[in-house]
Structure 1
């Protein structure tokens, strides 16, 4: 039964209007991919939200032949095929409504280990590089898996630092296993596998690294981990989409703040300003937030406390002391307490977050550090 189920799952997912969500609807209705393949075209009305046009391709023998070749390709190249409806994909990813129906895996991925996703711009600066190096140095006593996208820049640095510090790493690809993009990272991909890590993709072997695949890939990076760290990104960068997915999945998001004049910090600053990410003020605090609070050595701080304890302005002091008195206060309540419009408070809150004096939470709530 299992081989037939894989065959029909791949064939079903190949149908032009059967995406991940429609795939899951058919599985819920008919119980398996094999049954859906046999019955859905005639009995589509049993599935909620499925119309005649949606199931028009089901039963096409070309898709079955494609699935046979895909299974042969995977067997030849030591690629495992995981089906969501058989509960074979990572458990956190499985919680997402739009999780992939099929996930292809090459290498090892221990789902019992904690995970953290780390993403950022392809145009990484020395500031971002130093942060990634310091983070992995401070967290190396922990047992966890780092997750990123095998792109140039921040992704590449994340995978390389993981390997350097003997931390398993997983790269989520935006294409099938017939190729490797970017080709510059082929040796790195091989090294990830050699060091006990994994390459993951939802795309079959025929799929090229088309532009739209990268946004689709980002939801897996966000969904597979309880927390996502955005190192550096510009306005509208791909990492912003990863953070958006993470917020939608109710995951923790952390962002590395930077100067407002630095183009590759503007996306991070915006995420913090809009309360879509917690501001990273010190690596030791980030590690504690991730649950990696075992380290006996004192982690290097991003901002020394001598800087944090600088004199606050009158506006900063009023807001800071009010939040100290009212932990987890919301923005609306804060505005009411100090009789100041919210739009005037937000810039000051961002300043205090950058100074490491405040921490933001979902729902525009704040607490003093």
Structure 2
């Protein structure tokens, strides 16, 4: 049991500490253990920590939780990686809101990663594209990343396995379970064939809706290229594309007919210059090949449009003006009840207006 991992999990279990604060503290004081043992007087003087977080850090209950979590990892062949570890995925580490700790069951292949996501309601059009694209990839040098959901995600994993391409499944819950449960066999095959299932969540975390949105940033952060195969306007893949653009990564979208529901999201990304259109499988394979140097992201930041929904606009303005704002501060500003506000924020994130971060902090997307 690594001491640093113990304190890293304990810190992450502290209420509303979040990845951004964790990273700031560890970079400032050298290690999670050093942060854990800081005097309360020192913590209170650090901007952004506050009294609540100060009281949480150093609380024995979090250290007890971390001890049990590491015991669970050892019993289930799960590796814990902190953001300071050399084996932590290097492209993900570049992201400002990267998970402070990852739990990995299986292996992280030494390969170039390609993230591929899309709708749970995959059509034959999307399926054929995935088959054609993965068949043309140099399998010995590549690995795919997706989310183990129904539809596009599952087919990406299945086709990768059929072609001996290692594949990673990023989950929105702890590794004590597989969701959906019907994909348990698929998850086992991923591990057995040189890939891994990955999560930032501990074994006490359930597949809550907001976790799926946060999971998408990991899928986007793992790779230089993210491919959106099919998506409706409000699909989770749109959220993944927004994260990838924020990280200055390359986004590609499979265009479709204007009246096809599950092409509307892809068409919108292309029209807003948030994704490059896929002209051909051959061109896409060339752009994603390991020998292709990373190109500068061609997408320009769009000036935010006025939002038609006045409630969304009002909340957007609060977040935009503050640069970053906590859920508690938004509650105070909007005078709404917690459940109503949470529902509105989730809807706004799916629509691409805002982005949530760990610790229930929010930033606007411009």
TM-score, length-normalised on structure 2?
0.78
Q: Structure 1 residue 210: deviation in Å?
A: 0.4
- Give the direction of change, closer, same or farther, for the CA distance of 1:275–1:40 in structure 2 (3 Å limit): farther
Mapping of 1:93-112 within 5 angstroms? 93-110=92-109, 112=110
Q: Does the Cα contact within 8 Å between 2:145 and 2:167 map onto a contact in 1? A: yes
Name the CA distance, whole Å, in 2 between partners of 1:123 and 1:3: 43
Q: 1:7 Cα shift?
A: 1.1
Deviation at 1:197, TM superposition (A): 0.7
Give the conservation status (yes or no) of the 8 Å contact 1:117–1:148.
yes
Write the distance in 1 (CA, Å) between the matches of 2:38 and 2:49: 13
Within 1, Cα distance between the matches of 2:26 and 2:202?
20
Aligned 8 A contact 1:173 1:200 in 2: yes
CA distance in 2, matches of 1:279, 1:201: 30
Structure 1 portions without partners, runs of 5+: 295-327, 331-369
CA contact (8 A) 2:137 2:289 kept: no
**Corresponding residue SS for 2:38:** helix
- The residue number in structure 2 matching 1:126 is 124
SS at match of 1:53: helix
CA deviation after TM superposition for structure 1 residue 291, in Å:
2.3
- The one of the two structures with greater contact order (alpha-carbon pairs below 8 A, sep at least 6) is 2
CA distance in structure 1 between the partners assigned to 2:41 and 2:11 by the alignment: 15
Give the superposition deviation at 1:140.
Answer: 4.4
| Other-structure match for 1:202 | 200
Distance across 2 between alignment mates of 1:263 and 1:49: 43
In structure 2, stretches of 5+ residues that fail to align are 293-297, 301-366
1:70-119 CA distance string (max 9 Å, x none): 00000000000000023442000000000000000000112x41110000
Q: State the alpha-carbon separation in 1 of the partners of residues 25 and 139 from structure 2.
A: 45
Q: CA RMSD in A?
A: 2.1
CA deviation map 1:139-174 (0-9, x unaligned): 145511100000000000000000000000000000
Q: Mark the structure with the bigger radius of gyration.
A: 1
Match of 1:352 in 2: none
Task: Tell me the distance in 2 between the aligned counterparts of 1:211 and 1:128.
Answer: 25
Residue 42 of structure 1 deviates from its aligned partner by: 2.6
Shift of 1:46: 4.9
Q: In structure 1, what is the equivalent of residue 263 of structure 2?
A: 265
> Does the CA contact (< 8 Å) of 2:241 and 2:251 recur in 1?
yes
Cα deviation for residue 44 of structure 1 reads 1.3
User: What does residue 171 of structure 2 align with?
Assistant: 173
The alpha carbon displacement at 1:45 in A equals 4.3
Residues 110-145 of structure 1, C-alpha deviation per residue, up to 9 Å, x if partnerless? 2x4111000000000010001001111111455111
1:287 deviation in Å?
0.7
For residues 35-79 of structure 1, what are the alpha-carbon distances to aligned partners after superposition, in whole Å with 9 as ceiling and x for unaligned? Answer: 111115331145343222222211211111111100000000000
Q: Partner residue of 2:246?
A: 248
Aligned to 1:30: 29
Cα–Cα, structure 1 residues 279 and 142, in superposed 2: closer, same or farther, change >3 Å? farther
Q: Secondary structure at the match of 1:85?
A: coil
**Counterpart position of 1:116:** 114
Using the size of structure 1 for normalisation, the TM-score is 0.77
Which portions of structure 1, spanning 4 or more consecutive aligned residues, are displaced by more than 3 angstroms?
45-48
Q: Are the aligned partners of 1:229 and 1:255 in contact in 2 as well (CA < 8 Å)?
A: yes
Distance in 2, Cα, partners of 1:233 & 1:32: 41
Query: Which residue is equivalent to 1:58?
Result: 57
- Number of paired residues? 297
Aligned match of 1:17: 16
Q: Is the 8 A contact 1:140 1:165 kept in 2?
A: no
